[in-house]
Amino acid sequence: MIQVNKPVIVLLHGFNGSLLNFEKLVPNATMYVVEGGGHMMMSTHSEEIEEVIENFFQKTVDYEDK
């Protein structure tokens, strides 16, 4: 079985039990549910997603705000 050992962020518009296997394969995954999101959540919830991704980067990589 292949495992990913690097930090990963997963943005979801809903959660179901099938993702539990994903969490086993990617133990360093950060899952974030965008309530009311949908297929176009990058457009409809851009400020929320931007904040989530920025926080993820600040926690996982050397990040310098430019």
HEC secondary structure over the chain: CCCCCCCEEEEECCCCCCHHHHHHHCCCEEEEECCCCCCCHHHHCHHHHHHHHHHHHHHHCCCCCC
Comparing 33 with 65, which gets the higher pLDDT?
33
Q: Which residue has the higher pLDDT, 52 or 66?
A: 52
Query: What's residue 62's pLDDT?
Result: 66
User: What are 5-55's pLDDT values in tens digits?
Assistant: 788 898 888 766 666 677 777 888 888 989 888 889 999 999 999 999 999
The C-alpha atoms of residue 29 and residue 11 are separated, in whole angstroms, by 10
Domain ranges (residues) in the chain: 8-60
- What pLDDT score does 64 carry? 54
Strand 8-12 relative to strand 29-33, pairing = parallel
0.75 surpassed by pTM: no
